[in-house]
Amino acid sequence: MIHLTFALLLLYYYSHISLRLAQRGLHDQVLSITPKTQEQVDVLKNVSTQYETALWQPASPQFIKEETQVHLFVPANSSETVKDLLQTHAITHEVLLANANELIEMQTRNDSGDPRSSTTFYERYHSLEDVYDWINRTQQDNPSTVKTILIGSSSEKRPLYVLKLSLNNRPDKKAMWIDCGIHAREWIAPAFCLWFVQYSLGFYRQNQDITHILDNMDVYVLPVMNPDGYQYTWTTNRMWRKNRSVSKSSGCIGVDLNRNFDANWCTEGASNEPCSEIYCGEFPESEPESQAVADFLRSHKDSVQFYLSIHSYSQMLLFPYSCTLEEVENHRVLFEMAEEAAQKIRRYYKNTYKYGAGAKTIYLAPGGSDDWAYKLGIKYSFTFELQDRGRYGFLLPPSHISRACNEALIAVKTIALRVVEKT
Ligand code: ARG
Ligand code: ZN
């Protein structure tokens, strides 16, 4: 009873605050800021670490530099302070999103019960629980072609399920791997994994490309690689990136799973500071999520020839290396595959994707799953950064899911067809 009273009080208190903030015309916002001088760079680094904000781009304050756009999520309660600070230092900003709350609300709304709603299951974002249900249903509805494989569990002990799509009877099986949602706040990623599975099962023998791919390859899909973080973005903090393991030394929470793999682990571009957004963890594969994926791929490396990891946002088709500026031995081949995929997206969807080796296209980022998979021997290894380029960022509205997924799908098909051809 005491608990309930307390909870109600808290609820009252918070609804009161947000009401007051809203009355003053304040909302959670996303600002775009381009620092022009070193002093402005330092102010921005300071703002993004000292105040209650979430840096959207770049991934960590250390990458903020002159003449490069910074995207900063600013909650209503620090909005005035932050804007004053910017003004004091003559830093101009643009408002990318004036009312992020409204967008967040839109993304979690479940209008499936509404018969007037025309959006399908795949054009909405889904809670972790819904994704688990979907995995179950997908397997039950396709008993001869879909299997679920439990590859491990998260740090908070949630299961990590991989769907195996197997539509051919080739004796010498080839396979591709797709994981989605390494980073919790990139909601379009799990949405893509669901989209891809649905498309594969629905369009086999309807669409020529997917038929040819599935006739030659099995597909392993891990829809949510970071379930703890994903759950946390639904319940508590929409901007969470890392997993949810607790660092004993600092009390800070979360390892960046895409810095936790054994590929020049924790060198420049990662941080050994547990409170950082790009914390590499205590040692390579210290996290159960990355270890589960690595173990699975190690034991399937003879069949898996194509590795793909789905992220957002910025619209890029990346391949190794990200952990060094060196070129991989098959750089030319990977470059041409990415180029062809980007051209298809441009032709069919009039949308631009950058492509290239990770380190040269964005920044040095060691310990990534794509580089690790490449070094393991999976020579066709890619990371896709899906829509958009910053307009909505991580808060891509549900109405954009179908286009974002369809353009990524065309890129996956293009590259998979090439891989089939070459292996
Ligand atoms: N935005 C992604 C990240 O920061 C980029 C991934 C590119 N690949 C990589 N191995 N870092 O993790
Ligand atoms: Zn990411």
The answer to whether 181 and 160 have CB atoms below 8 angstroms apart is no
**C-alpha distances out from residue 217 to 55, 145, 303, Å:** 39, 12, 9
Residue 199 has a pLDDT of 97
Structure letter (DSSP) for residue 92: -
Residue 230 has a pLDDT of 98
Return the active site residues: 385
The verdict on the CB of residue 365 being under 6 Å from ligand 1 is yes
**Strand, helix or coil for residue 118:** coil
C-alpha angle 50-55-60 in degrees, rounded to nearest 5: 85
**Strand pairing of 354-357 and 316-319?**
parallel
Distance 24 CA to ligand 1 centre (A): 39
Residue 170 has a pLDDT of 82
| pTM of the full structure | 0.91
Distance 394 CA to ligand 2 centre (A): 10
Residue 108 has a pLDDT of 87
Mean pLDDT by 10 residues, the chain (423 residues): 57 54 72 96 92 92 94 93 93 94 87 65 96 98 97 98 94 92 98 98 96 97 98 97 94 97 98 97 98 98 97 98 98 98 96 98 96 98 97 96 97 98 91
Closest to 405 in 3D by CA, of 118, 125, 112, 97? 125
The verdict on the CB of residue 383 being under 6 Å from ligand 1 is yes
ipTM beyond 0.85?
Answer: yes
Residue 370 has a pLDDT of 98
Closest to 227 in 3D by CA, of 154, 164, 131? 154
Residue 87 has a pLDDT of 94
Residue 307 has a pLDDT of 98
Residue 277 has a pLDDT of 97
Distance 342 CA to ligand 1 centre (A): 18
Max Cα separation, the chain? Answer: 68
Spell 384-411 as b/e; 16+ CB within 10 A means b.
Answer: bbbbbbbebbbbbebebbeebbebbbbb
Residue 13 has a pLDDT of 55
Residue 235 has a pLDDT of 96
Residue 248 has a pLDDT of 87
User: Of the ligands numbered here, which is closest to the C-alpha atom of 183?
Assistant: 2
Residue 342 has a pLDDT of 98
Residue 113 has a pLDDT of 59
